[in-house]
Amino acid sequence: MHAMRRRGTRRAVVRAAAWTAAYALGLAVLVPVGAWTWWQRAPHAPGTNANALWARHQWVGETHTDAEYRAFADLLRRARITDVFFHAGPVEADGTVPPAKYRNAAALLAAMRRYAPGVRAQAYLGQIREVDGHGVIDLDDPAVRNRVLATDATFLDVGFDGIHYDFEPVYRDDGAFLDLLTRTRALTRARGRVLSVAVEQKTLWDGVQPVLDAVAPRTGPLHYPPRPTARFLRALADRADQVAIMTYDTELPTRSLVGLHYAAHTRWTLDLIGDRATVFIGVPTYRPVTGWAEDLATALRGVRRGVDGLDAPPTRPYGVGIYADWTTGAADWRAYDRGWPAPG
């Protein structure tokens, strides 16, 4: 009798394992097929007139000709770029940026005022955060945050229209970073300037984060790159004028899955914070080492499909952020013109 029960138990376990494997296989087939079917429908939403561009350090660090400034301004106008994040750092471990790194900033800003007066030139400042002994800058140190604020003031004195932060990683309970944002926004508002921040895309499931916090080290692969929860993303948006989502590096194998990724994060982000801050959905003009299916055209189509899925448009401006000008060639700008057409 006991032997028969054991055999029955083994059969039940085998059947359960077989059904589980079949179910997983079915999902592995159905998800790509469903994404492909969804991807066939063309987007209806046009592009927008509020878009950003991450720009190379050479603009603030090296001299340029008048013709180069004119050509750059013409490109910005044609692409409907409203904000350029000029790389002005990186920030040193103590929170400062040596003046030699931005020796051409005054000439650049004068050229921007002359040839692209409607475009905000923001100082793009960032660094790798120190976490568990790894990284460069310790933003948990109040003295370091104070020096970052002094650095911000210096760049605003030079004439930048805003401060753009890209400190990584930023975790969902990062009180030090929220404090830095609160104090920076007080500074930029007092000067009539803007504050923008680049963050990773939202988590897929917020409820998983406490589990990861409990079982996985923050420097391990399960945590990096960290994703903001909905609550933390709202907290960021309440402290910044603009939020740029680093939506790229999907590492997905098909264009339909990449497009679905961009559509989902566009819809989620605009639903969450589109009424709180200007949102730029980051799109790549480089080709990742892995995930060959991700390219600019696919990302733009995905963003537009995400906008199509909104119940109502956000009250604040939104658009895409192009990463980055140093990887964007003539063919990429043509793809941008086709994939992100001017509204109306």
What are the residue ranges spanned by the domains of the chain? 1-41, 49-339
Residue pLDDT, tens place only, 266-297? 999 999 999 999 999 999 999 776 667 999 99
Contact 87, 127 (CB under 8 A): no
Class of the domain covering 49-339: alpha beta
Answer yes or no: is pLDDT of 26 > 50.
no
**pLDDT the model gives residue 49:** 98
Look at 34-48, 110-124, 303-317 and tell me which has the smallest mean pLDDT.
34-48
Answer yes or no: is pLDDT of 5 > 50.
no
> Does a cis peptide bond (omega within 30 degrees of 0) precede residue 90?
yes
Answer yes or no: is pLDDT of 73 > 90.
yes
Return the axis-axis angle of helices 296-308 and 255-273, rounded to nearest 10°: 50
Return the axis-axis angle of helices 105-115 and 142-158, rounded to nearest 10°: 50
**pLDDT the model gives residue 18:** 44
Answer yes or no: is pLDDT of 90 > 60.
yes
**pLDDT the model gives residue 35:** 76
Answer yes or no: is pLDDT of 328 > 80.
yes
Residue pLDDT, tens place only, 92-120? 999 999 999 999 999 999 999 999 999 99
Residue 336 phi/psi, 5-degree rounding, is -65, -45
